[in-house]
A = this chain, B = another copy of it.
Amino acid sequence: MSLVVQKYGGTSVANVERVRNVAKRVVTALEAGDRVAVVVSAMAGETNQLVAYARELGGEEPDPREYDVLVSTGEQKTIAMLALAIQSLGRKARSFTGGQVGMRTDTTHTKARIESIDARRLREAIEAGIVPVIAGFQGIDEAGNITTLGRGGSDTSAVAVAAALGADVCEIYTDVEGVFTTDPNLVPAARKLDRISYDEMIEMASLGAKVLQIRAVRFAMRYRVPLHVRSSFEPVPGTWVVPEEEVMEELVVSGVTYNRDEAKIRVRGVKDVPGVAARLFAPLSEANIVVDMIIQNLSRDGTTDMTFTVGRSDYSRALRIAREVGAKIGSGEVDGDATIAKVSIVGLGMKDHAGVASRMFQVLAEQGVNIQLISTSEIKISVVIDEQHVERAVRALHAAFVEAGAAQPRLES
């Protein structure tokens, strides 16, 4: 008998019929002998509608406290609806708002951090044979104000509930069957991964795979909560996200990811003296612009070129700021390009395999794809290329590393 936390996203509860289907899945788990707690998001579209109200009445930056009061109604609706649907199948269920489950957060409205959960009421319910249905995405601060965790926060809520209950697994139900080696829409040979480590999942999530919120994976890793990403429509096993030592068969490359939401900015002729990087990047940070890759070439004649990437929606603001700073620090020309994309390969096995990077560059060269920037970490290699070459690059990398490479035994050092 396992204790299972199930999390259903907005598309899984998009209408009354789908809420009924979720209730059936919950009952199926109960019939299999599991004890179940459920975390749900708002119905698909609901949050957007509520955000639109907030903007119409409160402008581009509505008061964050009231914004949270407004958008948190979405999840409150779904918990009651799902509890009713489970009851109508003859099982006991009870809804819990973030406040009622003691989901204590800090006071950072619209992107609050979870501090603690009072799992007592949940445990009591489960022990009494009642399925707790918990609102994702929301909490309360010390003063009793309603807070929200930011977009996608429901995954994090589910992991937090699973951690607090000491659940055996946190199942993340979504509209895909699991985590794939790459985007199946782009590469028909893409296949579902059975298992993947937290680290790999974090790299995959941050690089554009949209199945899991990166924050939730970090949270799961910290509390060692096994995640199971699976389809809410098909009753087949999905992908388990687990500690590294439980990934038996380490792949050199687990996945090929891409992200078109990228733009690059180059600042030429920057004097190569201490403090210059801080002067460039502090104003960007103050403007809430997230900088992804930063590449600085070796100095030549006492100056260097500095290149960085930002989200495409921040491109023109970032370019303006970079030019202002460039003028102040006496740099050379500042230019940019918003027609780039980032392609990455991710894999735990990379740690133990030499030559993966050079093989990657070779594959791209064979395709005539020029590499503009390179950035590496222990388990991933990312390159920035021209946006128009994304599909060709992803297909070639998937063929070379995933389809050909398949599983390779770990090389023990």
By a beta-carbon cutoff of 8 Å, the part of chain A in contact with chain B is 16, 19-20, 50, 53-54, 56-59, 62-63, 65-67, 69-70, 72-73, 76-77, 79-81, 83-85, 87-88, 93-95, 97, 99-100, 144-146
User: A95–B69 contact, CB under 8 A?
Assistant: yes
Q: A63, B84: Cβ atoms under 8 Å?
A: yes
Binding site secondary structure of chain A: helix
A163 to B69, CA, bound (A): 26
Smallest CB gap from A70: residue in B: B80
Q: Are A77 and B50 in contact (CB under 8 A)?
A: yes
Q: Could you tell me the distance in whole angstroms from the C-beta of A141 to the nearest C-beta in chain B?
A: 12
User: 19 more A-B contacts (CB under 8 A) besides A57-B88, A100-B144?
Assistant: A16-B53, A20-B57, A50-B77, A53-B77, A53-B81, A54-B80, A54-B81, A57-B84, A62-B84, A65-B94, A66-B87, A66-B94, A67-B80, A70-B77, A70-B80, A70-B81, A70-B84, A99-B99, A100-B145
Taking CB atoms, residues of chain B closer than 8 Å to A50 are 77
| Contact between chains at B16 and A56 (CB < 8 Å) | yes
Report Cα–Cα, A70/B84, bound state, in Å: 10
- For A57, what are the chain B residues with a Cβ–Cβ distance below 8 Å? 16, 19-20, 81, 84-85, 88
Which one of B67, B69, B100 contacts A76 once the chains associate, using CB atoms below 8 Å?
Answer: B69
Q: A53-B16, A99-B99, A100-B144 are in contact. Are A69 and B80 (CB under 8 A)?
A: yes
Q: Indicate how many identical chains form the complex.
A: 2
Nearest-CB residue, chain B, relative to A57: B84
Q: Which residues of B contact A20 (CB under 8 A)?
A: 57
Note all chain B residues with C-beta closer than 8 A to A73.
73, 76-77
Closest Cβ of chain B to A100, distance in Å, is: 6
CB neighbours of A94 from chain B (8 A):
65-66
Of all A-B residue pairs in the complex, the 10 with the closest CB atoms, nearest first, are A58-B84, A70-B80, A69-B80, A73-B73, A57-B84, A66-B80, A66-B83, A57-B85, A73-B76, A16-B56
Bound together, the chains give a CA A72 to CA B20 distance in angstroms of 22
Set of chain B residues within 8 Å of A85, measured between Cβ atoms: 57-58
Question: Which residues from chain B contact A56 at a C-beta distance below 8 Å?
Answer: 16
Cα distance, A72 to B53, chains bound together (Å): 18
The CA-CA distance from A95 to B66 in the complex, in Å, is: 7
CA of A240 to CA of B80 in the docked complex: distance in angstroms? 40
In the bound complex, CA of A145 to CA of B101 (Å): 11
Given contacts A53-B81, A99-B99, contact A87 B69 (CB under 8 A): no
Instruction: Check B53–A66 contact: CB distance below 8 A.
Output: no
A77 to B50, CA, bound (A): 8
A115 to chain B, nearest CB (A): 19
Residues of B contacting A66 in the complex (Cβ-Cβ under 8 angstroms):
80, 83-84, 87, 93-95
Contacts of A144 in B (CB 8 A): 99-100
Which residue in chain B gives the minimum CB-CB distance to A54?
B84
**In the assembled complex, how far is the CB of residue A52 from the closest CB belonging to chain B, in whole angstroms?**
9
- A53–B82 alpha-carbon span in the complex (Å): 10
Tell me the bound Cα distance from A93 to B65 in angstroms: 11
State in angstroms the CA–CA spacing of A94 and B77 once bound together. 22
List, in ascending order, chain B residues with CB within 8 A of A80's CB. Answer: 54, 66-67, 69-70
**Known A16-B53, A16-B57; contact A79-B69, beta-carbon cutoff 8 A:** yes
Considering the complex, give the chain B residue whose CB is closest to the CB of A82. Answer: B57
CA distance A12 to B150 in the complex (A): 31
Most buried by B among A56, A84, A144: A84
